[in-house]
Chains A and B, each alone.
Chain A
Amino acid sequence: MAILGKTKICPFKEDPSLIKKINYKEHKFLKKFITDQGKIIPAHVTGVSAKYQRLITNEIKKARVIALLPFVVDPRQN
C-alpha cells in the first residue's frame, strides 16, 4: 500500500478492544493476518504496528502447533 501512496492506520490503535483478541485461541480472528496459503502477511501490507505484529506472529505460531491454523495450504489440493 505504501507504493500507492496510501497510509493505513493500525487496526489495534483504531480499536484497542481488538488487542485482547490477539491470542492463539482466537484462531478465527488471526486468520485475517495469514494468506490463503497460510503465510503470515507482512505488517506493511496490513498496516499493523510493529508492537502488535510481534504479538500476532507469536500467537499464530502457537496456533499452528495445536492445529488451529495451518503451516501450509497447498492450493492444488482444493
Chain B
Amino acid sequence: MKFYETTYILHPALQEGRLNDIIKTIQKKAESLGAEFLYSDNWGRKKLAYLIDKEKYGTYIFIQYKISNLNNLKELNSELEHNPNVLRYLNIKIEEQDIVQNFEKKEDEIIPIKEEKASSESTDKEEKASSESTDKEDKASSDTDDQNNQSEEDKESNTENSGEEE
C-alpha cells in the first residue's frame, strides 16, 4: 500500500450541485479502482496564478488516499486528464505521517487567534472610551512578563484621565 495525494482544479463555471456531482463521480471511480480515501477537502474558489484554458479562477479539491496497484493510479490519472471539467491536476506520493488526520484541531487552532485579536482590539477601544474598566480587565488577563508594561500604560492612562478631569 502506498499513499498519494492529489489536488485538482475544477472549472469555475460549475454550480454547486453539479460540482458535488463531479467530485462524487471522481471519488466513485477512484474507489472502483481500489483506492481507499483517507482525507478530502474543498479549498474553494481561488484565483489562479496564471490563465489555464483562458480561465482566471478555479475550485481546488484536495484528496489523500492509499492505493496498492500502480496501474490503477495511472488509470485514475488518465481519467482526470480526459475529464473536460478538470483544468489541472497534481499527483504526489506521500508518507503515512503526512496524512491530515485531525482537521478539527486545525479549526481549533484558528479560532483562539481570532479571539485574541478581537479581545486586543476591544481593549484598545475601551481604553480610549473608559479607563477604569480596562484597568480591571488588564489586571485579570495580565501575565507576569506583561505586568510591568501594563502598569506603565495604566499610569499613563491615569495621568491622561486626571488631566481630562481637571
Q: Which residues of A contact B (CB under 8 A)?
A: 24-25, 62, 64-71
Q: Which residues of A contact B92 (CB under 8 A)?
A: 62
B49 touches A68 (CB 8 A): yes
Closest partner residue, chain A, to B58 (CB atom): A67
Tell me the minimal C-beta distance from A63 to chain B in angstroms.
8
Minimum CB distance partner of B98 in chain A: A23
Cα A24 to Cα B92 with chains together (Å):
11
Whether A65 pairs with B49 at a CB distance below 8 angstroms is no
Q: Which residues of B lie under 8 Å from residue A67 when comparing CB positions? A: 9, 48-50, 52, 58, 88
A24 to B15 alpha-carbon distance, docked (Å): 27
Chain B 17-50 interface 0/1 with A at a Cβ cutoff of 8 Å (1 = within):
0000000000000000000000000000000111
Size of the B side of the interface (Cβ < 8 Å), in residues, is 13
Inter-chain contacts of A62 with B (CB < 8 A): 90, 92
Contacts of A70 in B (CB 8 A): 49-50
CB-based nearest B residue for A69? B49
Q: In the complex, what distance in Å separates the CA atom of A69 from the CA atom of B58?
A: 14
Q: Does B77 contact A (CB under 8 A)?
A: no
Are A71 and B50 neighbours in the complex by a CB distance under 8 Å? yes
Instruction: Please pick, from B58, B60, B62, B90, the residue contacting A65 in the complex, using a CB distance under 8 A.
Output: B90
Is the C-beta of B157 less than 8 angstroms from some C-beta in chain A? no
Nearest-neighbor residue (CB-CB) of A68 within chain B: B49
Residues on A with C-beta less than 8 A from B52 are 67
B150 interface residue (CB < 8 Å to A): no
With both beta carbons as reference points, the residue of chain A lying nearest to B48 in the complex is identified as: A67
B123 within 8 Å of A by Cβ? Answer: no
Instruction: Check: B72 CB closer than 8 A to any chain A CB.
Output: no
> What are 23 pairs between A and B in contact, CB < 8 Å?
A24-B90, A25-B7, A25-B62, A62-B90, A62-B92, A64-B49, A65-B88, A65-B90, A66-B7, A66-B9, A66-B60, A67-B9, A67-B48, A67-B49, A67-B50, A67-B52, A67-B58, A67-B88, A69-B49, A70-B49, A70-B50, A71-B49, A71-B50
What residues of B have a CB within 8 angstroms of the CB of A25 in the complex? 7, 62
Bound: A67/B47 CA distance, A? 9
